[in-house]
Structure 1
Amino acid sequence: MISWYQRPAGDSALKLIGYMLYTSQNLEDEFKERFGVSGDGSKKSELQLEKLNAEDSGVYFCVAQRHGSSLSEQVVQTPAETLKRSGETAKISCSHSIQSYDQILWYKQSDQHPMQLLGYMFGDAAFPERGLNVKMEGSANKDKSCTLTVEGSSLSDQVVQTPSFIQASPGGAAKMTCSHSIQSYNQILWYKRSEHGELTLLGYMYLDNSNPEPGVNVLMEGSADEGRNCSLTLRELSVSSSALYFCAANVNNYEPAYFGKGTKLTVLETGREPVLPTVKLLPPSEKQCRSRKEQENKNKRDIRKKTLVCVASGFYPDHVSVSWFINGLRVREGVQTDGAARRVGESYNITSRLTVLAKHWFSPQTVFNCTVDFFDGNKNTICFDSITSQTADEGMGREKYLTITQNAKLSYMVLIVKSCLYGAFVGLLVWKLQVCLVISDVNHQN
């Protein structure tokens, strides 16, 4: 049997599209109109997509299974059930005995929701999804144990701010909303963060009462109560209105405030149109990790690291987010992205770096992908670049060692031969000189 899954762009949930059980086709209802699967589940299967649209962007997976028997029997997960109070920590362990398998993926399955990827272990390296309050430890190799720790969630997760990006024209208006599910909290504060990081209070909602700051041209509506929506409308926009805006749920001056994830507003300059980014993924430097000290200490080879650099340039406005993927799985560990895009002339640039263990970079046929999600005011466009890892470590392998030693032996033999020839030549010259001297003495005596 071959099953097909879809993971939409910017999401960690996997959706089952359908599967081929031998030659029997089975599609999920939501995919029947434009998707199709064909082939033979015991040999080869194909996925077809028709009338593509932006919502089809994402990563697609196929999974081969043996009907009636599965290697899943060699995967052990404990405990089967766990009961915890809100805010407590839970641990789950997983191990396997499948030859050559070196990854363990962790998923969350909620009622009436698709599976959500929490992260994965690749060998001894952990790659948890950001913002999910999970930690992964151990190893994904055969007969090793991997542990997932689920920690108590932050109350900031209960503050929802939308949309993430807004693009508007000068003189227009922009509206964003905020809601929370924090018990007893009844205030929502609105802030504007400047490009220098300073927060300016625009006003706040207390229950159903709006309290904007004097001189600020904004409109606040709705309610700050739990489960209600509060909106902020910015009026008579100008280029200086471009900034990052935050909402925060609060209850009084003594309790902490919990912030939403922010809304980035860009007011377009007169006459400007959106421009897509150009994405270039640069491989690690060949000289990285080549210090003599590390090469002399064999134990340190396991901790050497390689850094890939992704550069997105030439785009406008600066509504972008950068993501990294290894073999189709999103990576958050080891990622360092510029805090904000940098203005260069009439456009913006942004740089992101991914640092991985050297052994992962040299793992054969590993695909590294840098994806830039660009919002032009109406839709999101995915731009990306990929490279495939090298297939051999730059360290001193057996073949390289043998080559070097053979070359050294050959050079040494050539040097010995040259030395012998040189010695013979010098000896010949000395012998001739002695003969000449003897002949000269004989002639002189005669």
Structure 2
Amino acid sequence: MDIIIIKQCFLSLLAVLMWTPGFTGGSDVNQTSTLWEKQDNNATMECRHTKGSSYYQMYWFRQLPGETMERIVFTTTVNEKHDFGPFSTDKFAATKTVAESGTFTVKNVQPGDQGLYFCAVRASDTKDVNQTPRFITKTISQSVESEIKCSHKIPSYNKIFWYKQGKDKALQLLGYLNLNNPNVEEELKGKISFDGDGRNNGSLSISDLRLNDSAVYFCAASLHSAAHLSGVDTKTF
């Protein structure tokens, strides 16, 4: 990844396309690439797609340097009140008046806003990837042993990615299956494991559960930067 050195009072907001689960992207979705804006100004990014009117849901994500990815806002054409979660509308804004496009604005840009900004679109009902079960309840010290399962029937897709979304709403990559080869993030080895085949199905295991393992876990079927997503809510008591 290129490193952009910021001088004086200018800030770069690098907007990168993301094709993620349940979500979709790739060549069908396009957004503002690199955006430069003066400090204290507002920076607006646009996202467009050619997936059709059923893809009327749009998500915007941010990844600051050295941090995990987090969802800033969920927008839809059927509700004018967008879901910013814990983020303030004093800092962020979004528009979504038509299914095929939307905008995202970072207000009063400051050096701390420098990072990667992603858009993703989703249909009202996506069946390309299936994940079961919807909920799992465990007690502390128990383990989830291949109980979170993901399957897809997307031709030529050979990877299954796994993500965790904790209470802070940040989206953390756990790792992925490339064909039948598991690749777990270094800091999670021994805690997380995968099995299966990225071309059709896989499962997630979590050992020695703790309270901070209570989260929503997502799987994504992918080829290169393309992906489709589903999720399961895991609670630990």
Q: Normalised by the size of structure 2, how large is the TM-score?
A: 0.50
Structure 2 residues not aligned, in runs of 5+ = 1-56, 213-222, 227-237
2:194 matched to which residue of 1? Answer: 136
Cα distance change on mapping 1:32 and 1:83 into 2, 3 Å: same
- What is the rounded CA distance, in whole Å, between the counterparts of 1:36 and 1:22 in structure 2? 17
Q: CA deviation at 1:75?
A: 0.9
Measure the CA separation in 1 of the matches of 2:93 and 2:134. 38
- The total of aligned residue pairs comes to 155
Match of 1:93 among 149, 153, 157: 149
**Counterpart Cα distance in 2 of 1:125 and 1:57:** 35
1: CA distance between counterparts of 2:118 and 2:110? 19
Q: Does 1:12 align with 2:68?
A: yes
What per-residue deviation string (whole Å, max 9, x for no partner) do you get for residues 293-330 of structure 1? xxxxxxxxxxxxxxxxxxxxxxxxxxxxxxxxxxxxxx
Amino acid paired to 1:7:
Q
Are the counterparts in 1 of residues 150 and 203 from structure 2 also a CA contact under 8 Å? yes
CA apart distance, 1:13:
4.4
Which has more strand, going by share of residues?
Answer: 2
Partner of 1:50: 107
Deviation at 1:25, TM superposition (A): 5.9
- Could you tell me the TM-score, scaled by structure 1's length? 0.29
CA distance 1:111–1:22, shift in 2 (3 Å): closer
How much identity, in percent, do the aligned residues show? 20
Tell me how far apart the structure 1 counterparts of residues 107 and 178 of structure 2 sit (CA, whole Å): 35
Larger Rg over CA atoms: 1
Residue in 2 that maps onto 1:152: 208
Secondary structure, aligned partner of 2:95: strand
- The structure richer in helix per residue is 1
Letter in 1 for 2:130: V
Q: Which amino acid aligns with 2:138?
A: L
Change (3 A) 1:116 1:26: same
**1:40 Cα deviation from its structure 2 partner:** 4.1
Instruction: Identify the residue that residue 59 of structure 1 maps to in structure 2.
Output: 116
**Which one scores higher on RCO, CA 8 angstroms, separation ≥ 6?**
2
Compared with structure 1, are the counterparts of its residues 138 and 55 closer, same or farther at alpha carbon in structure 2 (3 Å cutoff)? farther
Q: CA deviation at 1:148?
A: 1.6
- Pairwise CA RMSD: 3.6
Q: Secondary structure at the match of 1:30?
A: coil
5+ residue gaps, structure 1: 158-362, 367-446
Q: Distance in 2 between matches of 1:19 and 1:79?
A: 23
Letter in 1 for 2:132: Q
- What displacement does 1:100 show? 4.7
The equivalent position to 1:81 in structure 2, one of 136, 146, 150, is 136
1:105 equivalent in alignment to 2:161: yes
